[in-house]
Amino acid sequence: PLRDAAIAPLRASGTIFFLARDPGEIYDAGGLEDRPLAQDGRAAFLDRFAQREPVYRRWAHHIITDPASPEAGLNAILEVLRA
């Protein structure tokens, strides 16, 4: 996502949503064992997120802030798509 050439075609061909959640909560919730960006520990994960968040926000068509659950995030996305 950090290279314009990588994300521009995606943005041009679809709708990008950024699910803005607290990165510490994301890390602490677990389930990131297979995620390469989470392999160097919490501090490194938070640092990478801080570097990438402005990029995510810039490229997103819509930002969903702090969905209470996966279902709430999905419902927020569906609401935007239906509008």
DSSP for 10-78, written as a single string = HHHHS--EEEE--HHHHHHH---TT-GGGTT-HHHHHHHHHHHHHHHHHH-SEEEE--SSHHHHHHHHH
pLDDT confidence of residue 37: 84
pLDDT confidence of residue 76: 97
pLDDT confidence of residue 15: 94
Low-confidence ranges of the chain (pLDDT < 70): none
pLDDT confidence of residue 48: 93
Q: 68: closest CA among 8, 6, 20?
A: 20
pLDDT confidence of residue 22: 95
